[in-house]
Amino acid sequence: MTNPIFERSALALACLWTCGAAAATGDDAQSSSHVVLVSAQKAVQPVRLPATVESVSAQQIDESINAVTTAGVLQYLPSVHVRERFIGDRNAILVMRVNSSVASAQTTVYGDGMLLSNFLNNSFATAPRWGMVSPEEIDRAEVIYGPFSALYSGNSAAGVVRLVTREPTRFEAHVKLDAFSQRYQQYGTNERFGGGHASAAIGNAVGDWTYWLSLDHLDNRSQPQTFGNTTAKTGAPAAAGSFTVVNSADVYRDIDTAGKPRIIVSSTGIDHTVQDMGKLKLGYKFSPAVQASYTLGLWRNASDGSVDSYLRDATGATVYNAGSTLANPYKFVRIDGADYTVSAAAPSRASSEHSMQGLALKASTGAFDWEAVASVYNQKKDLTRTATPSNGLDSGLGSVRPGGQLNLADGTGWTNLDLRGQWRADPAAAHTLSFGLHHDRYRLASVTYGTAAAPVADWQTSETGVLSTNSYGKTQTDAVYLQDEWKFAPAWTLVAGGRQETWKAYGGSNFNAANTAPNPQNLVYADRSQSNFSPKLHLAWQASSVLALHASVGKGVRYPTVAEMFQTFNGPTGIKTNDPHLKPEQVLSSEWVLQRKFDHAMLRGSFFTENKRDALISQTDVTVTPNLSSIQNVDQVRTRGLEIAGQAARIGVPGLALNGSLTYTHSLITRNSRNPGLEGTAQPRIPDWRATLVGTWHATDALSTSLSYRFSGRQHHALFNTATGQYNDVNPDVYGAVSHYSVFDAKMVFRIMQQWSGSLGINNLGNFKYYVNPNPYPQRTLFAGLKFDL
């Protein structure tokens, strides 16, 4: 039986080729290499990679993106989304063609060759460390799709982002101020949220030295990130004296993702974050061919998570929570005669101090180029505090503070080393060899104090308490790779390579005070190791001066993270379990590409596939009794997709440029021995359709305007429910779902005088309400900026 997705993809590519042949002219065309690079960026040389590469330049960021953080600069690239729920979100996961918004370890992010990806977990909570790079220092951001280059590890299964920052050639100084604000209205919340951002930088080249010193400050108060909701108690009414009557006019009723009625009782997770970053970059040229650089980055964050309960008792007092652990009369609240428990609307606080250091040495002689990049990322301080209110009227912020829970991740971090070389016998050589060595080490140290029975004494000040859980562990990966680019004919290029990786996990242990016999409270895990070889192959054909085709196939091995194997956590928001015996994900991916050049335009079509064995997914093992829910190896997941991307200039309106993309993806669990009922069902959080379109008009030399569009289609937030025979999100566009979105953004940049410019912008112009389970994204947000460049 034929595959309908393949048929649609083949038809689309054929149409693309036919249209291109009819419209193209060869006079204005430039010959292209095996690399597909679709970008409006000028004067950027293509990276020599056997993969599709897209990029966004500093000029494009400035003219068309309301970017306050680096996480926001990628949002209009094909099949790319960054889950930035609010400006300054520390959990801004990078999403590409084949990974979901809770799968952070399947993409890799570098800043000037230093690893910013946090591979301590594969989770919504381990985003790349975007805060170590400010948007104003970015020269360009490059996105490399798929595991097709031997230069990168299996964590590049979905793709790689390379952030390249500016290098001064003369004295320069920059200052930028941003203000932003949104009026957020939902349920009982009708309030303005927003903040400000300031950055400053100076740089210069003095003789053989260069320096760059930058400071970045962000202060933002987000919209609520969660809403407390509840359903009525079943069975007998609550006993007299165990409940408190609350005013039904203060609650909000709607339908949940499963299509069932619910009551919304509070807004929580209103995150006030204050972030500061300082960075020093020094460069030295030993000769025209050899140079070195050193980078030191310091990042600090302080955040307060506040809450707002909608519940009021007969006296008008705010009721924050009700449940079985509380004393009467707060075991229940009574609303219109029905009884409810409500989860605690409890405040939280977090503070972090992280540092990053990197040293790079690079040489370019023409025949032999090489580089060595070493970096260290250290979470010197990483502290989270959560209150545990002791009665229904306790806000957690009263004069008598309640106990709570304290989580420490101090000392967690990673080191990274890459030695890379590239050799060619002469400029006309048929072969270009790339080779290198890689080493990384990740260390997890997570300790939680405060149990349900014995919380820490004071949630805001206590430094220790009764040990609840701890998790420790390390992983290490060493790799060697070789890749040969062979131009075996004038129009043909073959790239073949391989990556041999050796991985080990060691020092793993955890403690959980909640465990009772026969389950041990403390576990120490045996060390384990594994080696894998990942071959890569790429064939490119320059069919004419305006038409290029290429095909890539590559294997990638994504090893389990420290937390997936070793971390356990028993906290107020849930319990995480671990499995020290998890097998690595093994991905076999392919991409088939046709690229067509027109007068002042470019169009690309890509058909991509991913076959993943032993996918690491949180599910329920129904083959054991009792059933076990945890992160488990799923036998096979298959993903197919079609991506069309293009750009055009000089299209009838002087100064107008367009670029956009359209992607269709279909991802299924095809084999699952631990839960066979899930076979043939969708992998969660992979949207079926995605689209972007950016139009930028340079009205004059002093004025540019842009209008952009982002779309994401249907996706399920959880696995298929085998008990009910349907997905749980039958009502997908409400709070609690991963909804579709259709969002317009606008920006205007105007030059006030030679060195001063200003900007005005709006994100979510139509005030579209959309969600990423369980959090709402921002509503209509206004931006204003002022910039000085010397």
**Per-residue model confidence as pLDDT tens digits over 152-163:** 999 999 999 999
Contact present, 437 and 143 (Cβ < 8 Å): no
pLDDT surpassing 80 at residue 567: no
Contact present, 314 and 341 (Cβ < 8 Å): no
pLDDT at 343: 84
pLDDT at 157: 93
pLDDT surpassing 90 at residue 638: yes
Strand duo 159-165 + 107-111: pairing = parallel
pLDDT surpassing 80 at residue 28: no
Helices (H) and strands (E) in the chain, counts: 3, 42
Rounded Cα–Cα distance for residues 741 and 737 (Å): 12
Both tokens assigned to 339: 């009884």
Average pLDDT, the chain: 90
Both tokens assigned to 410: 């101090």
Share of the chain above pLDDT 70, in %: 92
pLDDT surpassing 70 at residue 2: no
Contact present, 210 and 203 (Cβ < 8 Å): yes
In the chain, how long is the greatest CA-to-CA distance?
A: 90
pLDDT surpassing 50 at residue 190: yes
More confident position, 437 or 31: 437
pLDDT surpassing 50 at residue 12: no
Rounded Cα–Cα distance for residues 131 and 134 (Å): 7
Residues β-bridged to residue 386: 348, 405
What is the DSSP-derived secondary structure letter of residue 621?
E
Chain Cα centroid distance, residue 517: 40
CA angle 37, 43, 49 (to 5 degrees): 35
More confident position, 771 or 428: 771
Contact present, 712 and 688 (Cβ < 8 Å): no
Both tokens assigned to 506: 């060691």
- The CA–CA distances, whole Å, from 545 to 92, 299, 342, 469 equal 41, 48, 66, 63
pLDDT per position as a tens digit, 278-308:
999 999 999 999 999 999 999 999 999 999 9
Residue 789 has phi, psi (to 5 degrees) of: -130, 125
Task: Determine how many CB atoms are found less than 10 A away from the CB of residue 461.
Answer: 10
Mean pLDDT of 725-740: 95
Mean pLDDT of 405-433: 90
Rounded Cα–Cα distance for residues 585 and 274 (Å): 37
Mean pLDDT of 428-452: 93
Residue 87's SS3 state is coil
Rounded Cα–Cα distance for residues 350 and 334 (Å): 34
pLDDT surpassing 90 at residue 467: yes
Task: Determine how many CB atoms are found less than 10 A away from the CB of residue 530.
Answer: 14
Name the nearest CA neighbour of 103 among 704, 667, 677.
667
Establish how many alpha carbons lie within 13 A of residue 184's alpha carbon, considering only the half-sphere containing its beta carbon: 23
pLDDT per position as a tens digit, 215-243:
999 999 999 999 999 888 899 999 999 99
pLDDT per position as a tens digit, 131-173:
999 999 999 999 999 999 999 999 999 999 999 998 999 999 9
Lowest pLDDT segment from 238-252, 423-437, 442-456: 423-437
In 543-655 the beta strands, taken as DSSP E runs, fall at 547-558, 569-571, 574-576, 585-598, 601-621, 628-649
Name the nearest CA neighbour of 141 among 122, 159, 119.
159
Contact present, 678 and 631 (Cβ < 8 Å): no
Mean pLDDT of 73-92: 96
Rounded Cα–Cα distance for residues 569 and 628 (Å): 16
pLDDT at 94: 96
Q: Give 68: exposed, middle or buried? Use CB within 10 Å, 0-12, 13-18, 19+.
A: buried
pLDDT at 509: 93
pLDDT at 48: 63
Residue 9: which pLDDT band, with cuts at 50, 70 and 90? very low
pLDDT at 517: 80
pLDDT per position as a tens digit, 336-387:
999 999 987 899 999 999 999 999 999 988 789 999 999 999 999 999 999 9
Residue 577: which pLDDT band, with cuts at 50, 70 and 90? low
pLDDT per position as a tens digit, 515-544:
888 778 898 999 999 999 999 999 999 999
Residue 174's SS3 state is strand
pLDDT per position as a tens digit, 489-523:
999 999 999 999 999 999 999 998 988 887 788 98
pLDDT at 305: 95
Residue indicated by tokens 């920052």: 165
More confident position, 33 or 627: 627
R_g over Cα of the chain: 27
Share of the chain above pLDDT 90, in %: 81
Rounded Cα–Cα distance for residues 138 and 141 (Å): 7
